Amino acid sequence: MQAVLIAGALVLIAVGAVIFTLVTPWWFTPQASNWGEIDSTLLLTIWITGIAFVLVNLFVAYTVIRYRHREGQRAEYLPEHKRLEWGLIALTTVGVIVLLAPGLFVYSRFITPPEEAMLVEVVGEQWRWTFRFPGPDGVLGEADPQRISFENPFGIDPDDPYAQDDVLVLGNELHLPVGVPVKLQLRAKDVLHSFYVPQFRVKMDTVPGMVTHLWFTPTEVGRYEIACAEYCGIGHHTMRGVVVVEDEESFRQWLATQPIFGSPAGRSE
């Protein structure tokens, strides 16, 4: 009786997990960038781990019934089963390769931006996001954490000619033109943060002392939430921002209202 109950519970867990996966409201949010491949790799992971989960549970349920305790019965000794062991090792190896390999290819594309991508710098700090555009010359001015001060929040070298036209965005809102590939260059001022825009399928750690990067092409006009995805202190939950994706014209207008580093407005911020 006990064996049947345990086996029944295991079958219920397996079937319940499948039903939950199919009817859950916590599915992917609508997608707003070119990274559908990230969804495909996640789905592949769900398929492989899901099949393994169901098979293991059903197998345990079967063995609980098949080898349940019977009066007067003694356990049997089975020596090593070499063929079965090698078979399981091979199956697991194939499973792990199929789980990992596609992700490596997608990740490599994710951090290899196209030549024409528009450069934007993202700086994470406790607890806000700031952004910097390179201006008409397309090159960001040299920045050094040593130079960060209240007047110079990005630590930009004031003597660098490339820095003079850099556009500083100090609010938590980043505007981007729709359909244009963007390369984000990410830095952190204090501790680890992680720049995450779920609808773009884009997430990357920002690491103090390191510059990380990623790229994407926003495909839908709209407002998308940025969340910090790395616990970074007491204000972590407030470390939010917005990406506004709009047409080229509105984007240009917005960019023109932001302070420029070389101008008096840029220095005094």
Q: Which tokens go with 36?
A: 């559908």
**Closest separation between CB of residue 131 and Cu ion, Å?**
15
Total chain residues near Cu ion (CB under 5 A)? 4
**Closest separation between CB of residue 213 and Cu ion, Å?**
18
Rounded-to-integer distance, Cα 129 and Cα 227, Å: 10
Rounded-to-integer distance, Cα 126 and Cα 206, Å: 12
Q: List phi, psi (to 5°) of 124.
A: -100, 140
**Closest separation between CB of residue 19 and Cu ion, Å?**
36
**Closest separation between CB of residue 231 and Cu ion, Å?**
7
Considering only CA atoms, which of 241, 222, 113, 264 is closest in space to residue 169? 241
- Of residues 161 and 235, the one with the C-beta less far from Cu ion: 235
Choose the stretch contacting Cu ion; rule: CB under 5 A; options: 40-48, 52-60, 84-92, 238-246. 238-246
Q: Which tokens go with 10?
A: 């295991």
Q: Is residue 120 at the binding interface for Cu ion, with CB under 5 A as the rule? A: no
Q: Is residue 193 at the binding interface for Cu ion, with CB under 5 A as the rule? A: yes
Burial class of 70 by CB neighbour count within 10 A (0 to 12, 13 to 18, 19+) = exposed
**Closest separation between CB of residue 58 and Cu ion, Å?**
42
Q: Is residue 226 at the binding interface for Cu ion, with CB under 5 A as the rule? A: no
Considering only CA atoms, which of 261, 238, 245, 239 is closest in space to residue 156? 261
Q: Is residue 122 at the binding interface for Cu ion, with CB under 5 A as the rule? A: no
Q: Is residue 239 at the binding interface for Cu ion, with CB under 5 A as the rule? A: yes
What is the Cα gyration radius of the chain?
26
**Separation of CA 21 from chain center:** 21
Q: Which tokens go with 67?
A: 């080898």
- Find the binder of Cu ion among 32, 140, 232, 245 (CB under 5 A): 232
Q: List phi, psi (to 5°) of 197.
A: -120, 95
**Closest separation between CB of residue 248 and Cu ion, Å?**
31
- Find the binder of Cu ion among 182, 184, 228, 245 (CB under 5 A): 228
Q: Is residue 186 at the binding interface for Cu ion, with CB under 5 A as the rule? A: no
Choose the stretch contacting Cu ion; rule: CB under 5 A; options: 84-92, 176-184, 185-193, 244-252. 185-193
Choose the stretch contacting Cu ion; rule: CB under 5 A; options: 20-28, 130-138, 193-201, 245-253. 193-201
Angle CA 21–52–30, to nearest 5: 30
Binding residues (CB under 5 A) for Cu ion: these are: 193, 228, 232, 239
